[in-house]
Amino acid sequence: MSINYLNLGLLQSNCLTLPTAAAQSAQLIYGDAPRQDISSFCVAVKPASLLRRFIKPIVEFESNFRIPFKPLPASQSYALLEWGLNWCLATGHFNHLLLHAAVLVKEGQAVLFPAMPGSGKSTLTAWLGLNGWSVYSDEMAVIDLHTGTVQPMYRPICLKNLSIDLIQKWSPDAILTPVCHDTAKGSVAHLKAHNWQEFSTFSPARIVGVVFPKYDASATEPQLYSVDKLQTFENFYTNAFNYHVLGQASFDILARVVNQIQGFEVHYASLDFMSDFLTDELLS
């Protein structure tokens, strides 16, 4: 099985070569998306050398003749592809402001979830996506420089370790790639958040809030903290991939977005609480 393009919604990548297992996973995630007329970049995952094709196989990610990462075991080829696509966007796309944050949308209103690794962001994103929310992104908020709206991306949700089992328990029919073990992030699998037919109905959404989530299994009661606008701006700035490149335009649109949203830090143990909180506090 081969796939020679990856339609990410906002833009497209040509796919030059992939190991069989990675190609099968890419087909599972992106195979229902139509081909766009123009591609923004080219990617490949290929053996790091002829010798390492056969002896302890390792692969490397390449984009437009650049190899940004060290080689990884061939068993991690699909995870490497997804991480490589993140790199391509973060370092080469300057038509939008890019923030490291998940984006969930309901009733045309978007909530951003910037969070540190281990905070439970992707698990929360996946759960909300299975319970009535639209997943615009798990990794990257794409903000229009003129309108301040957030754009949808056709990308999967990266699940790690125990989150994989939880999703399979919550939704046995969920579309998941095979698990890549022993990566730098532990065991990793990618969840198809929406099919292309669903995604094609998405439109740019107005940002109404930002939530800094922290899952705490030992918490008996959720803890809510209001985050002021200066702290929110600072966090967005710190988590922006291309703020320094866009200059004044990025400052202006960030200031505009921050002035129109509410910000919260939430420590929680109940996913049902998070859904109710988001609906009652940010969408009402």
Q: For residue range 67-96, list pLDDT tens digits in order.
A: 999 999 999 999 999 999 999 999 999 999
Decide: residue 32, CB within 10 A, 0-12 exposed, 13-18 middle, 19+ buried: middle
pLDDT at residue 133 tops 80? yes
At 59-75, the pLDDT tens digits run 999 999 899 999 999 99
> Does residue 106 fall inside a structural domain?
yes
Closest CA to 170 of 107, 125, 137, 112: 125
pLDDT at residue 156 tops 70? yes
Specify the CATH number for the domain of residue 219: 3.90.228.20
Q: What is the pLDDT of residue 182?
A: 93
> How many structural domains is the chain composed of?
1
> How far apart, in whole angstroms, are the C-alpha atoms of residue 29 and residue 193?
9
Strands 109-113 and 206-215 turn out to be parallel
3-state secondary structure of 283: coil
> How far apart, in whole angstroms, are the C-alpha atoms of residue 154 and residue 92?
18
> Does residue 203 fall inside a structural domain?
yes
Q: What is the pLDDT of residue 1?
A: 57
> How far apart, in whole angstroms, are the C-alpha atoms of residue 15 and residue 63?
9
> Does residue 165 fall inside a structural domain?
no
> How far apart, in whole angstroms, are the C-alpha atoms of residue 106 and residue 278?
10
Q: What is the pLDDT of residue 5?
A: 96
> Does residue 229 fall inside a structural domain?
yes
Tokens of 233: 């701006």
> Does residue 198 fall inside a structural domain?
yes
> Does residue 250 fall inside a structural domain?
yes
Considering only residues 117 and 180, tell me which one the structure prediction assigns the higher pLDDT. 180
Helices (H), the chain: 20-30, 77-92, 121-129, 162-170, 196-199, 229-238, 243-246, 248-259, 271-277
Global pTM reads 0.93
> Does residue 4 fall inside a structural domain?
no
Share of the chain above pLDDT 70, in %: 99
**Where is average pLDDT lowest: 20-29, 250-259, 264-273?**
264-273
Tokens of 224: 């809510």
The whole domain housing 271 covers 97-155+193-284
At 223-242, the pLDDT tens digits run 999 999 999 999 999 999 99
Which strand (E) or helix (H) includes residue 214? Answer: strand 206-215
